[in-house]
Structure 1
């Protein structure tokens, strides 16, 4: 049985890696390691299918070092010993250790000295946060790199390569892939390149050629092969963004039924990352200080949804949507920071007042740094009248409180009180 397309298309050099340019792009850390042949053990973490194994394979291919793959949960200490013996005989071995967060203490104690010597370069792969799940002894001997989700463009690039590659890919098949099918395949797999490639291979190998000898891969074929319905059959895929926009505007407008309808469309399309990101944006952009608790509950609901996956993920997502819809709304903090950014981008900023500048280094006082600073905690109510804004922005007002929720109403009263005190000081 032939190996899956995703396996065959695994990058052989660092130049073939799709995405992760913050790590493997020109001048970036992993590329520098490879080019200088100064590799150190590392942990790569991020969602499935975004390139952890690919980066390890590409590093090995670019450096010509031996490459071995083990799983920390299922492979034994004896398997690690075999890799170490190989490294002793033939030189450096790159070891991809999948599920590195499952590395138990006996395996860890055996492996650590060999990581320190550099004989084994371990590339640990995990979907878990290594700062929480990985033993400090392992973390201290590795560099930790977070991999970013692949963009739609990244996945389309990889799919196109696979279609054109005659040695490892599907280049020997005469395939006609429609634009809508390519777009849906790159979106429906939610950044998982492995799933996208395997979906493409299934589509190509299970579709009969037409009269012209071409294998027509249509949107319907891709929907069946990845088991995800497209939001629409429109040519440019604009409805994908239209539904996301409609979800946010329905929540902003407090129409709970409309919001649940658009949530349902996104659930049916399997767009969990899109839903999660959009709900967290809405919680802070549209609800904001009117109900900060709703933002916290939204984050918790999103985390639960991501752990559960579909179909159960729909339950916490629906909770969040109803909560956000029926919550009081405020965009005051969002509008305030944008107003501040407008001034900054227009060149209106000015120098930080001397009494606010850092005064912890030697000779700071000679430069007049921090001399007249008044420590608020030394005064009643932890407040003292002193200048904080630069001279160029002395009368700037960005924050305009709203009274749509109890929490921001309390903030508004405090804000008005402080502004009154400032005016009193200015007039005296």
Structure 2
């Protein structure tokens, strides 16, 4: 039986990995490890289909080390012993241990000394937060890297490769994948490349050729093979982003019913990732300091939604959407940081005042570092007038508070009172 397309298209070298360029791109940490052949054990965590196995496979392929795959939940200590014996006989083995968060103590105790010696390069894969779900003894011997859902552009690149590859992919078929089908395939799978490739393979192999011998894969075929409706993608691919834009603008404009409508489009399309990402952006960009508690509750709702998954995820998200819609709004925090970034990018910064420089090392006093620093807690009300900005921009003002909501009104009063005291 032939392996699924997603399995066959796994990269064999680091340069072929799609996505996760912050880890495997030129000059990035995993790429550097591979180039130097100085591998260390690691844990990769993130959603399904985002490339954890692909990274492990590519690391092994690029370094020419043997590559083995086990599952911490279903494979036994004896399976680990077989891998360990192989490593002793032939040298280093790269072991991908899936579901590493389910590693029991017996297997863990067997693995730990092998990790210490470097006999086995362990690459643990998990969808769970390793800082919570993985034993500290394992964490302390590994580096932890987070992988993220792939972008639509990443998925389109992988799909194009699969359609052209005659040896491992679908290159032996003459396929015409329409633009709207490609757009939907790359967005409706929520950054899960495995789902996209396997859906593509089903579409190609289950669609008869036309009279010219070409397999026509259009939007309706992809919808059927993915079992999702195209509610957030249209023929030119713009509607996916239009729905997200309309969702944010509806919350910004305090229209509860419109926001729930656009959220429902994303939910029905199965696009939970786009919905929760956008909701977090909205909370801090559009509500912000006018209602910080609403932002915190939005984060909690997103966390609950991730754990629940669809369809139950719709319930905490609806709570957050309604509250954000009806909350006072303020973008002052976003504007403030953008103002500060604009100054820095334009080169408007100067020397850090001597009294603010690090003084926790021998010889700092000779350089004048920290000598005139006034410790605010030594003064009444834990405040003292002191310059913090460099001389060049000492009068800069980035934050311009608003009066929307009780919290930011109070912050505004405090901010203006402190500025007056600084300028006296």
What TM-score do the two structures reach when normalised by structure 1? 0.95
- Structure 1 residue aligned with 2:173: 173
The answer on 1:359 being equivalent to 2:355 is no
Distance 1:103 1:383 in 2: 51
Q: Secondary structure at the match of 1:212?
A: coil
Assess if the C-alpha contact under 8 Å between 2:253 and 2:325 holds in 1. Answer: yes
Distance 2:369 2:386 in 1: 15
Residues 75-114 of structure 1 aligned to structure 2 (within 5 Å): 75-114=75-114
1:202-240 deviation digits (Å, cap 9, x = unpaired) = 101111111111110001111111122223664321111
- Structure 2 residue aligned with 1:383: 383
- Structure 2 residue aligned with 1:270: 270
- Structure 2 residue aligned with 1:207: 207
Assess if the C-alpha contact under 8 Å between 2:65 and 2:92 holds in 1. Answer: yes
Unaligned stretches of 5+ in structure 2? none
Distance 2:203 2:400 in 1: 55
User: Compared with structure 1, are the counterparts of its residues 18 and 349 closer, same or farther at alpha carbon in structure 2 (3 Å cutoff)?
Assistant: same
- Structure 1 residue aligned with 2:218: 218
- Structure 1 residue aligned with 2:13: 13
1:119-168 deviation digits (Å, cap 9, x = unpaired) = 22211111112222211211222222222321211111111111111111
Residues 214-293 of structure 1 aligned to structure 2 (within 5 Å): 214-231=214-231, 234-293=234-293
Distance 1:377 1:395 in 2: 24
Q: Secondary structure at the match of 1:67?
A: strand
User: Compared with structure 1, are the counterparts of its residues 412 and 75 closer, same or farther at alpha carbon in structure 2 (3 Å cutoff)?
Assistant: same
Aligned residues: 424
Identify which range, 349-358 or 158-167, moves more after superposition: 349-358
- CA shift for structure 1 position 248: 1.0
Q: Secondary structure at the match of 1:260?
A: helix
Assess if the C-alpha contact under 8 Å between 2:234 and 2:240 holds in 1. Answer: no
Q: Secondary structure at the match of 1:371?
A: coil
- Structure 1 residue aligned with 2:326: 326
Q: Secondary structure at the match of 1:409?
A: helix
User: Compared with structure 1, are the counterparts of its residues 327 and 233 closer, same or farther at alpha carbon in structure 2 (3 Å cutoff)?
Assistant: closer
- Structure 1 residue aligned with 2:129: 129
1:253-275 deviation digits (Å, cap 9, x = unpaired) = 11111111111111122211111
User: Compared with structure 1, are the counterparts of its residues 399 and 36 closer, same or farther at alpha carbon in structure 2 (3 Å cutoff)?
Assistant: closer
- CA shift for structure 1 position 38: 2.9
User: Compared with structure 1, are the counterparts of its residues 114 and 350 closer, same or farther at alpha carbon in structure 2 (3 Å cutoff)?
Assistant: closer
Assess if the C-alpha contact under 8 Å between 2:41 and 2:122 holds in 1. Answer: yes
- Structure 2 residue aligned with 1:73: 73
- Structure 2 residue aligned with 1:349: 349
Identify which range, 367-376 or 44-53, moves more after superposition: 367-376
Distance 1:30 1:397 in 2: 41
User: Compared with structure 1, are the counterparts of its residues 392 and 34 closer, same or farther at alpha carbon in structure 2 (3 Å cutoff)?
Assistant: closer
Distance 1:274 1:73 in 2: 31
- Structure 1 residue aligned with 2:300: 300
RMSD: 1.6
Unaligned stretches of 5+ in structure 1? none
- CA shift for structure 1 position 8: 1.2
Distance 1:405 1:151 in 2: 36
- CA shift for structure 1 position 297: 0.4
Q: Secondary structure at the match of 1:341?
A: helix
- Structure 2 residue aligned with 1:141: 141
Assess if the C-alpha contact under 8 Å between 2:65 and 2:93 holds in 1. Answer: yes
1:267-288 deviation digits (Å, cap 9, x = unpaired) = 1222111111111111111111
Distance 2:76 2:275 in 1: 40
Assess if the C-alpha contact under 8 Å between 2:232 and 2:265 holds in 1. Answer: no
Distance 2:128 2:99 in 1: 9
1:366-401 deviation digits (Å, cap 9, x = unpaired) = 222222221111111111112222222232222222
User: Compared with structure 1, are the counterparts of its residues 345 and 221 closer, same or farther at alpha carbon in structure 2 (3 Å cutoff)?
Assistant: same
Distance 2:411 2:15 in 1: 53
Q: Secondary structure at the match of 1:84?
A: helix
- CA shift for structure 1 position 176: 0.6
Distance 1:40 1:395 in 2: 48
- Structure 1 residue aligned with 2:24: 24
- CA shift for structure 1 position 97: 0.6
- Structure 1 residue aligned with 2:49: 49
